[in-house]
């Protein structure tokens, strides 16, 4: 039998966690998973959806803070996110269906730790950290440190993710997330890739990052070496990105795709993500989610 | 606005559907069902195994458990293969497994408990000992008889005591049924021979509402069943047979049925056993299966492998078609077995004038769930294979696929025409439909765009595909209808065929209104109740309109004639001078419309003068039998796709069709049926496929893994219509329920291959998943 309560304050939530409760945000992983028989519901569940400390998006001079309870529906239309942290908006817009996006949260997506999660690759390329809090303190963990294996994070059971933080964007920066999908809604990424690009005034890349979805036990950061740095985004550099991404991936075969296909297409996605991020860095507006403009995915 | 035939009258059933007032199985409330118990089936976890033992002792003692039944309890006779199919009795599925299990999901035991949760918990306590046998999943392995699903002596121990259980078929092995047809002569000028193996993968009928049944016995010993079925009367007939009851003691009601698509044609073993359980525990019982249960133990469709050979001339004249079809029936032959002779072979020529046909069919069993009916059953898979081989032929002789079709389509002036495969096609204009759809699609411009795209070397290449179709409908010949005009000038139409989303309530009212002149809003339709009408075959195989529709028309006509007699008495005129104005529903003497009487007057006259009448003239039952004059709706379609050659992803950018459903009672309903059918057919190209692994485990047991069609796959369909009256019935009706499927699958399939033909791709198996498309491109790169 599961005991369910609703936290009225952050302290109450943290105390409940310390006492062994599991937090539930939107419940779209936790509850749906238990109904599907993945894992039974925990004995005690505490809802964290009413905590102001976990709400809202705020941009200061040097940092963006997204509360853990911010939903995908909020992320996909928030002007700050859409303009400056586009990859997150691209990803949020692809999650599930309108109802999944209305209740599913960024914190839940991150803490669920699925290697196919859509906001993961964007958070990595944007240099995000998770802010984890307990009754006794607070720490920042990078995404790479946080995700350990499918469904497993390095957070302790008493740690509540209160926010995702990331540095403000330098000028001439753009980011994008693309996902290979068979259907447009209610879909898990076959593979996906996020890219962040910063350009100098001459259009040369000064900083570039790529991360990959659904091709390893966790979201995978790609070491681009000198494939892009100091270079223009052109056929040659994009081909190099695709090759590195494919080589970095360690995908598995399942019902949806073979490892061979995933390895190939993640390269294609990485190239397209970099291309889109570069266009955005150059000042071009590409509608959210970028998938549709690039003609990836479903018909309409 | 007129509300008669040809008018897109809004659906009278919509309000209930859209506001949640429609009642489905789970919503049925009835005093007889008070205190209903629930059941959970214990199912096989192995595809093929010997059933060593079932131990239900612990489950029987679990909280709330009323009964646990296993195969050896023999609580009800199993139903043998039906539909007069000559299949040996050994292939009968026991109601609960007795000696072997033959698919993952096969019921082994059933737990009856006071609550659903109690039944779930107790089912976990049933201990099943299975000794694995080699699963037969591969078609060639099944054909090789290396491992037999049915060995001599495998027939269920408990045999039905009544009915027609033919035993002249095979009594063991993996081949349940074989049939063939060779007809005509092959012109020796057919020097081009093109062959290809074309698979039509298993597809799941996926109604929103899965199976469900609620059942109870009353004090008088009558059996009451509420079932989500396409065939309430057929359901009753089977129950009568196996429960050894007169049909009049069985009352089957199909409330609103949330879609069926062929998945609710046959009564499954789960549904079959429930009345027996209700009898044993002395309580009503309800069961609704889950989505995963439905996908793992309902029936499925398609599952056909075609080896196609086309014989033609170098300049595009098709002379002959050779077909070797291997059809997977699943573990236990069902209605799928009947399709080959009844539907597939008769369609051998498609819409083409072909001089020679050599068609053989082998129906095999494998360790998968039963293949039953599914929208387009027996026709769509073959037509898809035929349209595919025609494109391959066109490609091989370097001719445009539209030109090959032009050269070979049956000409309208020859119709009705009997093909060498023995089907008699009614009136249609196949060449005109093709020309029209090509023009509406802007075919020549599309080809020009394709040339440009290819030259540019872009990652997104376009493909254009087409198909022409006609298909056999109206199987089973006849339907009964009853029409009654009430004293208040309302009317009731009752039919045995019943809607599962087919809009009968609207269309039937329109047909009766045409004759009676009563506003359709005042005509109610009663269906899905075996007590309301004596017979019914059901809404299967696109047949209700051109059978029940005629019966409604004929019954209404009889009533109108009777009413004129009554009106004549009131108007003090000769009946032969009285006319019924169907715009106003009033009767008057020819030439003097100012003096008229209405239905209310006529009904009053009938009751007032019983002596002059022979009974209830305003009530009439008619049985309409088409006497084998089936109808063949037809059409043509063009699909345009964009293929991302870097990922293999396919986008459908346009779908244009011309469909000839004969005379349309309600064009809006026709469009609705076409939209659904087209989506259904396209889904098979995009990704819908039931997949089992080599061990016989179902991998596609939910809508995440089974790539159920999603609206975002589809652009707005561009529908155009021909409406050629059929001479095969008095009202010119054909059909439409399954038509959308027919051209959709091959048109899009041809388009996908067409997009890549310049790269050397000749064929891609269905479904054309991104990976499969990408692999076919990669394969040509490797061989180049
Ligand atoms: C139909 C459907 C479609 C979906 N499609 C997608 C998709 O396209 N892409 C995608 O990435 N995901 C998808 N998902 C998964 C899911 O919706 C997302 O992962 C969502 O973001 C989860 O958020 P939630 O708030 O619902 O998490 P919950 O289910 O509430 O929680 C998930 C896990 O995180 C823990 N948790 C939640 N919040 C916190 C916190 N603040 N601190 C610590 N731990 C926490 C919970 O204890 C639980 O273990 C889909 C789910 C469904 C049901």
Distances from the Cα of B181 to the Cα of A247, B176, B310, B341, angstroms: 55, 18, 16, 9
Q: In this predicted model, what pLDDT tens digit does every residue of A41-68 receive, in sequence order?
A: 999 999 999 999 999 999 999 999 999 9
Spacing, Cα B231 to ligand 1 middle (Å): 43
**Does A276 score more than 80 pLDDT?**
yes
The pLDDT score that the predictor gives to residue B718 is 98
Could you tell me if B87 and B98 are in contact, meaning their C-beta atoms sit under 8 angstroms apart? no
Instruction: List, as own/partner pairs, every contact residues B686-689 make where C-beta atoms lie below 8 angstroms and the sequence separation is at least 24, other chains included.
Output: B686/A182, B686/B650, B686/B652, B686/B713, B686/B767, B686/B768, B686/B769, B687/A182, B687/A183, B687/B767, B687/B769, B688/B203, B688/B204, B688/B767, B689/B201, B689/B202, B689/B203, B689/B766, B689/B767
Residue whose CA is at the smallest distance from ligand 1 atom 10: A117
Task: Search chain B and give the residue with CA nearest A296.
Answer: B649
Q: What share of chain A is helix, strand, coil (3-state, %, to 5)?
A: 35, 25, 40
* Calpha distance B664→B734 (Å, rounded): 8
Q: Which of B682, B731, B664 is nearest to B8 (CA)?
A: B664
The partner residue sitting opposite B712, judged by closest CB among A265, A295, A300, is: A300
Find the helix packing angle between A86-94 and A259-281, rounded to 10°: 140
The pLDDT score that the predictor gives to residue B169 is 60
Q: Does A182 touch chain B (CB under 8 A)?
A: yes
- Cross-chain residue pair B644–A184, CB shorter than 8 Å: no
The pLDDT score that the predictor gives to residue B119 is 97
**Does A171 score more than 70 pLDDT?**
yes
Spacing, Cα A95 to ligand 1 middle (Å): 10
Distances from the Cα of B187 to the Cα of A252, B456, B486, B740, angstroms: 53, 43, 63, 34
Residue B16 lies in a domain: no
What atom of ligand 1 comes closest to residue A187's alpha carbon?
A: 8
Strand, helix or coil for residue A47 = strand
* Calpha distance B491→B494 (Å, rounded): 10
Verify that B668 and B741 share a domain, yes or no: yes
Task: Search chain A and give the residue with CA nearest B774.
Answer: A261
What atom of ligand 1 comes closest to residue A69's alpha carbon?
A: 41
The partner residue sitting opposite A298, judged by closest CB among B460, B702, B710, is: B710
Verify that B731 and B752 share a domain, yes or no: yes
How many Cβ pairs closer than 8 A exist between chain A and B? 65
Distances from the Cα of B439 to the Cα of B399, B446, B612, angstroms: 19, 11, 62
The pLDDT score that the predictor gives to residue B610 is 56
Q: How many CB atoms lie within 10 A of CB B144?
A: 11
* Calpha distance B784→B772 (Å, rounded): 18
Question: Residue B484 class from Cβ within 10 Å (0-12 exposed, 13-18 middle, 19+ buried)?
Answer: middle
Spacing, Cα A6 to ligand 1 middle (Å): 18
Among B687, B770, B777, the strongest candidate for a mutation testing the A interface, having the largest count of A CBs within 10 A, is B770
- Cross-chain residue pair A295–B651, CB shorter than 8 Å: yes
Q: Which of A220, A41, A209 is nearest to A116 (CA)?
A: A220
Residue B546 lies in a domain: yes
Task: For chain B, report the end-to-end CA distance as a whole number of angstroms.
Answer: 64
Question: Residue A2 class from Cβ within 10 Å (0-12 exposed, 13-18 middle, 19+ buried)?
Answer: exposed
* Calpha distance B460→B650 (Å, rounded): 9
Ligand 1 pocket test, pick from A10, A96, A110, A185 with the greatest ligand atom count within 8 Å of Cβ, gives: A96
The H or E element containing residue B402 is: helix B401-408
- The phi, psi pair for B643, rounded to 5°, reads -110, 125
**Does A184 score more than 70 pLDDT?**
no
Verify that B446 and B468 share a domain, yes or no: yes
Last residue of a domain, one of B567, B591, B625: B625
CATH number of the domain to which B489 belongs: 3.30.365.10
Q: Which residues of A touch B714 (CB under 8 A)?
A: 299-300
What count of residues does chain B have? 784
Q: Return the residue matching tokens 């690759």.
A: A121
* Calpha distance B202→B213 (Å, rounded): 26
The token pair at B413 is: 């002036």
Residue whose CA is at the smallest distance from ligand 1 atom 25: A26
Q: Return the residue matching tokens 């047809």.
A: B181
Residue B211 lies in a domain: no
The pLDDT score that the predictor gives to residue B121 is 96
The H or E element containing residue B578 is: strand B578-581
Among B453, B643, B644, the strongest candidate for a mutation testing the A interface, having the largest count of A CBs within 10 A, is B644
How far does the CA of residue B714 sit from the closest CA of chain A (Å)? 6
* Calpha distance B467→B749 (Å, rounded): 10
Find the helix packing angle between A259-281 and B770-783, rounded to 10°: 100
Task: Search chain A and give the residue with CA nearest B641.
Answer: A299
* Calpha distance A196→A121 (Å, rounded): 10
The token pair at B739 is: 């038509």
A107 lines ligand 1 (CB under 6 A): yes
Verify that B443 and B498 share a domain, yes or no: no
pTM above 0.90, yes or no: yes
Q: b/e string for B422-431 if b means 16 or more Cβ within 10 A?
A: ebbbbbbbbb
Q: How many CB atoms lie within 10 A of CB A167?
A: 12
List the strands of the sheet with B285-288, edge to edge: B65-70, B107-113, B37-43, B285-288, B212-217, B223-227, B250-253
Residue whose CA is at the smallest distance from ligand 1 atom 36: A108
Could you tell me if A68 and A105 are in contact, meaning their C-beta atoms sit under 8 angstroms apart? yes
What atom of ligand 1 comes closest to residue A28's alpha carbon?
A: 26
Last residue of a domain, one of B625, B642, B657: B625
Verify that B565 and B515 share a domain, yes or no: yes
Q: How many CB atoms lie within 10 A of CB B34?
A: 10
Provide the number of structural domains found in chain B.
Answer: 2
Which positions in chain B have a beta carbon within 8 angstroms of at least one beta carbon in chain A?
460, 642, 644, 646-647, 649, 651-653, 686-687, 691, 699-700, 702-705, 707, 710-715, 769-771, 774-775
Residue B52 lies in a domain: no
* Calpha distance A100→A102 (Å, rounded): 5
Binned at pLDDT 50, 70 and 90, residue A297 comes out as low
Verify that B614 and B493 share a domain, yes or no: yes
Verify that B415 and B482 share a domain, yes or no: no
List the strands of the sheet with A3-6, edge to edge: A3-6, A44-47, A22-24
The pLDDT score that the predictor gives to residue B242 is 84
Spatial CB neighbours of B401, under 8 Å, sequence gap ≥ 6: B390, B391, B394, B395, B465, B466, B750, B754
**DSSP strand E in B409-543: where?**
417-418, 424-425, 460-470, 478-485, 491-495, 523-526
How far does the CA of residue B712 sit from the closest CA of chain A (Å)? 5
The DSSP line for B303-318 is -EEEEEEEEE-TTS-E
* Calpha distance B724→A3 (Å, rounded): 66
Task: Search chain B and give the residue with CA nearest A179.
Answer: B647
**DSSP strand E in A101-214: where?**
129-133, 138-142, 147-149, 152-153, 160-167, 173-180, 191-199, 205-213
Give chain A's domains with CATH numbers.
51-167 (3.30.465.10), 173-290 (3.30.390.50)
Verify that B597 and B746 share a domain, yes or no: no
Q: Does A35 touch chain B (CB under 8 A)?
A: no
Residue B382 lies in a domain: yes
Mean pLDDT, residues A91-109 taken together: 96
Could you tell me if A274 and A233 are in contact, meaning their C-beta atoms sit under 8 angstroms apart? yes
How far does the CA of residue A293 sit from the closest CA of chain B (Å)? 13
Verify that B460 and B485 share a domain, yes or no: no
Spacing, Cα A24 to ligand 1 middle (Å): 9
Can you give the three-state secondary structure of B208-223, one letter per residue? CCCCEEEEEECCCCCE
- Cross-chain residue pair A180–B647, CB shorter than 8 Å: yes
Could you tell me if A64 and A168 are in contact, meaning their C-beta atoms sit under 8 angstroms apart? yes
The pLDDT score that the predictor gives to residue A188 is 79
Residue B695 lies in a domain: yes
A158 lines ligand 1 (CB under 6 A): no
Residue whose CA is at the smallest distance from ligand 1 atom 37: A108
Verify that B521 and B569 share a domain, yes or no: yes
Kindly give the pairing relationship between strand B285-288 and strand B212-217.
antiparallel
The pLDDT score that the predictor gives to residue B781 is 76
Q: Please, what is the Cα angle at B142 between B139 and B146, to 5 degrees?
A: 135
* Calpha distance A272→A198 (Å, rounded): 16
Domain with B689, as residue range(s), is 304-473+630-783
Residue B533 lies in a domain: yes
- Cross-chain residue pair B705–A255, CB shorter than 8 Å: yes
Q: How many CB atoms lie within 10 A of CB B363?
A: 25
What's the ipTM?
0.90
Q: Please, what is the Cα angle at B624 between B729 and B538, to 5 degrees?
A: 105
Taking only Cα atoms into account, the Rg of chain B, rounded to an integer number of angstroms, comes to 28
Q: Which of B161, B326, B175 is nearest to B245 (CA)?
A: B161
Verify that B427 and B531 share a domain, yes or no: no
Spacing, Cα A90 to ligand 1 middle (Å): 17
Ligand 1 pocket test, pick from A17, A20, A43, A104 with the greatest ligand atom count within 8 Å of Cβ, gives: A104
A221 lines ligand 1 (CB under 6 A): no
The DSSP line for B509-563 is HHHHHHHH---GGGEEEE-SBTTTSS----S-SS-SIIIIIHHHHHHHHHHHHHH
Verify that B451 and B540 share a domain, yes or no: no
- Cross-chain residue pair B715–A300, CB shorter than 8 Å: yes
Could you tell me if B495 and B533 are in contact, meaning their C-beta atoms sit under 8 angstroms apart? yes
- Cross-chain residue pair A257–B705, CB shorter than 8 Å: no
Binned at pLDDT 50, 70 and 90, residue A185 comes out as low
The DSSP line for B202-271 is -B----SS--EEEEEE-TTS-EEEEE--S-HHHHHHHHHHHHT--GGGEEEE-------TTTTSSPPHHH
Taking only Cα atoms into account, the Rg of chain A, rounded to an integer number of angstroms, comes to 19
Residue whose CA is at the smallest distance from ligand 1 atom 31: A108
Strand, helix or coil for residue B676 = helix
Last residue of a domain, one of B625, B646, B663: B625
Spacing, Cα A37 to ligand 1 middle (Å): 16
Q: Does A168 touch chain B (CB under 8 A)?
A: no
Residue B599 lies in a domain: yes
Spacing, Cα B700 to ligand 1 middle (Å): 23
Mean pLDDT by 10 residues, chain B (784 residues): 80 93 95 97 98 97 98 85 70 92 97 96 98 97 91 71 50 87 98 98 95 96 96 93 92 96 89 95 96 94 98 98 97 88 96 98 96 95 98 98 98 97 97 98 98 95 98 89 96 96 96 96 96 94 95 98 95 96 95 95 81 72 94 98 95 97 97 97 96 96 90 94 96 97 98 97 96 94 62
């Amino acid at each position: 039998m599961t005991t369910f309560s609703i936290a009225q304050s952050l302290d109450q939530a943290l105390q409940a966690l310390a006492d062994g409760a599991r937090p539930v945000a939107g419940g779209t992983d936790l509850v749906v998973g238990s109904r599907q028989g993945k894992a039974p519901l925990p004995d005690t569940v505490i809802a964290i959806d009413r905590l102001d400390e976990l709400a809202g998006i705020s941009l200061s001079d040097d940092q963006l803070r997204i509360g853990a309870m911010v939903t995908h529906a909020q992320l996909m239309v928030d002007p700050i996110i859409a303009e400056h942290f586009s990859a997150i908006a691209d990803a949020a817009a692809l999650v599930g269906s309108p109802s999944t996006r209305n209740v599913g949260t960024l914190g839940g997506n991150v803490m669920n730790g699925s290697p196919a999660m859509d906001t993961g690759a964007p958070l990595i390329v944007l240099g995000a950290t998770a802010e984890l809090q307990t009754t006794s303190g607070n720490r920042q963990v990078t995404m790479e440190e946080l995700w350990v294996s499918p469904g497993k994070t390095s957070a302790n059971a008493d740690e509540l993710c209160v926010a995702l933080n990331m540095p403000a964007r330098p000028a001439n920066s753009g980011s994008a997330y693309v996902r290979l999908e068979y259907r447009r809604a209610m879909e898990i990424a076959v593979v996906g890739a996020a890219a962040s690009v910063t350009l100098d005034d001459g259009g040369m890349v000064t900083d570039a990052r790529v991360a990959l979805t659904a091709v390893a036990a966790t979201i995978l950061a790609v070491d681009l070496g000198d494939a892009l740095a100091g270079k223009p985004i052109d056929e040659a550099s994009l081909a190099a990105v695709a090759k590195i991404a494919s080589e970095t991936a360690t995908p598995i075969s399942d019902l949806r795709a073979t490892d061979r296909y995933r390895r190939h297409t993640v390269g294609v996605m990485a190239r397209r993500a970099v291309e889109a991020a570069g266009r955005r860095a150059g000042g071009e507006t590409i509608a959210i989610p970028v998938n549709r403009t690039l003609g990836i995915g479903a018909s309409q | 606005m007129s509300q008669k035939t040809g008018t897109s009258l809004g659906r009278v059933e919509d309000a209930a559907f859209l506001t949640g007032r429609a009642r489905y199985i789970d919503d049925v409330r009835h005093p007889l069902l008070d205190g209903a118990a629930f059941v959970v089936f214990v199912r096989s976890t192995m595809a093929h195994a010997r059933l060593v033992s079932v131990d239900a002792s612990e489950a029987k003692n679990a909280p709330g458990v009323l009964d646990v039944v296993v195969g050896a309890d023999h609580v009800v006779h199993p139903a043998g293969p039906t539909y007069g199919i000559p299949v040996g009795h050994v292939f009968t599925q026991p109601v609960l497994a007795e000696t072997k299990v033959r698919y993952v999901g096969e019921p082994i035991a059933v737990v009856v408990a006071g609550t659903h949760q109690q039944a779930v918990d107790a089912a976990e306590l049933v201990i099943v000992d299975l000794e694995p046998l080699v699963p037969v999943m591969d078609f060639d392995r099944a054909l090789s008889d290396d491992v037999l699903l049915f060995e001599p002596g495998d027939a269920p121990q408990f045999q039905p005591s009544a009915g027609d259980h033919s035993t002249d078929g095979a009594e063991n092995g993996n081949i349940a049924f074989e049939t063939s047809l060779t007809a005509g002569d092959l012109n020796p000028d057919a020097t081009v021979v093109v062959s290809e193996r074309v698979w039509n993968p298993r597809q799941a009928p996926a109604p929103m509402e899965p199976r469900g049944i609620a059942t109870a016995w009353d004090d008088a010993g009558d059996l009451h069943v509420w079932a989500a079925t396409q065939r309430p009367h057929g359901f009753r007939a089977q129950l009568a047979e196996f429960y050894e009851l007169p049909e009049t003691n069985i009352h089957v009601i199909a409330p609103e049925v949330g879609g069926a698509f062929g998945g609710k044609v046959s009564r499954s073993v789960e549904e079959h056993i429930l009345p027996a359980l209700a009898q044993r525990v002395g309580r009503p019982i309800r069961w609704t299966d889950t989505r995963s249960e439905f996908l793992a133990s309902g029936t499925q469709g398609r599952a056909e492998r075609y080896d196609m050979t086309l014989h033609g001339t170098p300049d595009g004249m098709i002379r002959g078609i050779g077909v070797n079809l291997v059809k997977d029936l699943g573990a236990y032959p069902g209605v799928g077995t009947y399709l080959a002779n009844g539907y597939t072979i008769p369609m051998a020529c498609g819409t083409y004038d072909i001089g020679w046909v050599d068609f053989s069919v082998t129906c095999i069993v494998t360790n998968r769930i039963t293949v039953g009916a599914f929208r387009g059953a027996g026709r769509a898979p073959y037509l898809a294979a035929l349209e595919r081989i025609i494109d391959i032929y066109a490609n091989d002789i370097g001719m445009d696929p539209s030109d090959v079709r032009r050269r070979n389509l049956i000409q309208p002036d020859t119709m009705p025409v009997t093909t060498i495969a023995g089907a008699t096609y009614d009136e249609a204009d196949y060449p005109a439909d093709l020309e029209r759809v090509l023009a509406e699609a802007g075919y020549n411009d599309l080809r020009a765009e394709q040339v440009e795209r290819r030259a540019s070397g872009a990652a997104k290449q376009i493909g254009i595909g087409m198909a022409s179709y006609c298909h056999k409908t109206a199987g089973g010949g006849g339907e009964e209808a009853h029409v009654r005009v009430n004293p208040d000038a309302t009317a009731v139409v009752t039919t045995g065929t019943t809607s599962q989303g087919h809009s009968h309530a609207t269309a039937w009212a329109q047909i009766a209104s045409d004759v009676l002149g009563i506003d359709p809003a005042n005509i109610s339709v009663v269906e899905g109740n075996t007590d309301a009408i004596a017979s019914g075959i059901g809404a299967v195989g696109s047949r209700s309109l051109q059978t029940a529709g005629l019966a409604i028309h004929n019954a209404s006509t009889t009533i109108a004639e009777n009413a004129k007699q009554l009106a004549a008495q009131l108007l003090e005129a000769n009946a032969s001078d009285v006319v019924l104005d169907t715009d106003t529903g009033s009767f008057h003497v020819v030439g003097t419309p100012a003096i008229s009487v209405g239905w209310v007057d006529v009904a009053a006259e009938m009751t007032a003068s019983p002596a002059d009448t022979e009974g209830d003239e305003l009530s009439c039952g008619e049985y309409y039998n088409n006497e084998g004059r089936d109808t063949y709706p037809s059409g043509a379609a063009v699909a345009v796709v964009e293929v991302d050659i870097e990922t293999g992803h396919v986008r459908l950018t346009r779908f244009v069709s011309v469909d000839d459903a004969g005379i349309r009672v309600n064009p809006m309903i026709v469009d609705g049926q076409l939209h659904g059918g087209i989506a259904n057919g396209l889904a098979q190209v995009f990704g819908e496929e039931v997949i089992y692994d080599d061990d016989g485990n179902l991998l596609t047991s939910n809508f995440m893994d089974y790539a159920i069609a999603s609206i975002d796959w589809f652009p707005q369909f561009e529908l155009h219509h021909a409406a050629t009256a059929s001479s095969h019935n008095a009202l010119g009706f054909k059909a439409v329920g399954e038509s959308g499927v027919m051209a959709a699958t091959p048109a899009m399939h041809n388009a996908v291959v067409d997009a890549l033909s310049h790269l050397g791709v000749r064929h891609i198996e269905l479904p054309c998943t991104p990976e499969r498309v990408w692999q076919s491109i990669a394969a040509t790169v490797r061989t180049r």
